[in-house]
Structure formats: structure tokens, C-alpha cells
Amino acid sequence: MAGFKLSTRRGASVLIGLALLALGACGGGGSDSTAPAPSQPDPAPPVSGRWVPALSDTWQWQLNGSLNTSYVASVYDVDLFDTPQTTIDALHAQNRKVVCYFSAGSGEDWRPDYGGFAAADLGAALAGWAGERWLDTRSASVRSLMAARLDLAVSKRCDGVESDNVDGYANTSGFPLSAATQLDYNRWLAAQAHARKLAIALKNDLEQLPDLQGDFDFAINEECFALNECSAYASFIALGKPVFNAEYASRYQQNTNGARTALCAAAQQAQIRTLVLAQQLDDSYRYACP
């Protein structure tokens, strides 16, 4: 969907432990601040004709509302369908890289290509998301539509893509999806993106991260600190592949009991680029950890 999408397998958020507070306060702060990562492995070798994200990259993620292009961020993640070409071109003129969001594992009935999905390929509804249904990612017709979306990303001159909902096997999809079929689909997506000279992010799907970290160029995560899951990305970061994370809890916005201070200290320690955003992923609130 063109908005906040927290992986449906996830449970309730938990507070960052007192151990994170011991890491100390973030230096500086604010929505536009940046700082070098503490220590970094050797960068991945460049890939001919394709952008390769770096651990030093900063990011902005906005999928709803009029796009604010004024933030100091080297990567903008925007909606593939809704973002005008003029906006993408303007971001490139500002020397930003553009990642284009689309759902690769669900059909959304407001998208212009929704009518291309066969009835048999549309499964159970995504709980809490009206008009959205899981897809049978084993289907050749589903894959054909996703290839067309990647072609659209190329035509709009996106530098990379964020393919959402790539963990249908871990949800009640209405199809007999398995870990094996999910790995096959996710690797297919990565190969198709790379064939088009697009970088591709692995979205959530932490359980399969060890199997997929060689296929994807970077990762996008929601609430790994609140859910105490960020350590799963250590080996990903060791490969020099950045992890872009968003946290939504109001306690971070208000810095309740130093929660945001602790969050940013933990993010800097883990070399995870973390934003505090509004759940609807518009421009109503943004704080970038240094």
C-alpha cells in the first residue's frame, strides 16, 4: 500500500532496555543532522551500471502527501506509482538517489495495474488494510506484473526499488506458500531488479535475512529497535550493505524518559540509519538520528 506498512507477523512493541541508555546521548540531533558511522567494513565493489548503496548513505522515506525534498538525505524512498517524474528528476538534480516503493507480495485495488491480477492469484485480505490482498507469488502471471513494475521503475529513472510484503509465507495468505517458495520469489525479484540495473532492498523478512543477504543490496526495516530485532542485521552490515530503519512510537517523538536519545545511541552503535516517522509516512513528523 502507499503508506505505512508494518509487517503483519509482528507483535507488540517493547521498550528499549536500560542497557541502551548506557550507550549515552546522541551528539547533535534534529531532522537534518548526519554523522559518520563509527567503524565500517570495506565497501562493496562497484557494480557496473548500477548504484550500490553505502553504509554512509542517509535517507528519507515518504510515501504519502506532497513530497518534502528539502531534507539533507542522500537517498529518497518514494512511491513508484504516485511520484511524478518531475519530482524524481528534481531529486536527481539535487544529487539524490531515488528508491521507488511498490508492493511485491500484495494486490492493492487502487493501483492502475490491479486489473491485471487473475482472480486465482488474489488471496486473503491483509488484516487492517482495506482493498489489499495477498498474492500467490508462485504464479507466473504475478511475476509478469512485477516485472512490468520493475520496467516502470526503469522508465521513471529510479535508482533502486523497495519491494514490500515479501514475507507472505509467514502470514495467513490463503496460499500454501512456504519458506522455500518465498526464497525463490525474493531471489527472483532481486535478479530481475539487477538485470535492469536497479538496486533492491530487502524489506523486513528478518527470518530469511541470512539466506538473502547475498542477493539484496540494502535493507529496509520497520521498528527493529522497538521490537529488539536489530541484531539480526549485524552480518548484513558486515558486508557493507546499509540498513535503513524507521521507528514510529510516540515516545521517540517526545523523547519520553530519554527514549529517543537511547534509540539514536543504539542506532549509531549498530550502524543502522534510523528515522523516527509518523506511521502514515507523510511529512507530519521526522527526526533523523545522527
Residue ranges per structural domain of the chain: 18-36+45-288
**Mean pLDDT for all residues in the chain:** 88
Return the C-alpha cell found at 58.
Answer: 542517509
pLDDT, position 75? 98
Residue 22 has pLDDT above 70, yes or no: no
**For the domain bounded by 18-36+45-288, which CATH number is listed?**
3.20.20.70
pLDDT of 48: 66
What pLDDT does 173 receive? 98
pLDDT, position 65: 96
Q: What is the pLDDT of residues 73-90, one digit of tens each?
A: 999 999 999 999 999 999
pLDDT at 49: 86
CB-based contact 137:119 (threshold 8 Å)? no
Report pLDDT for 189.
Answer: 98
How buried is 82 (Cβ within 10 angstroms: 0-12 exposed, 13-18 middle, 19+ buried)?
middle
Q: What average pLDDT does range 207-235 have in this prediction? A: 97
pLDDT band at 236 (very low <50, low <70, confident <90, very high): very high
Mean pLDDT along residues 215-219: 98
Q: At residue 5, does pLDDT exceed 80?
A: no
Residue 8 has pLDDT above 90, yes or no: no
How does pLDDT run across 243-279, given as a tens digit for each residue? 999 999 999 999 999 999 999 999 999 999 999 999 9
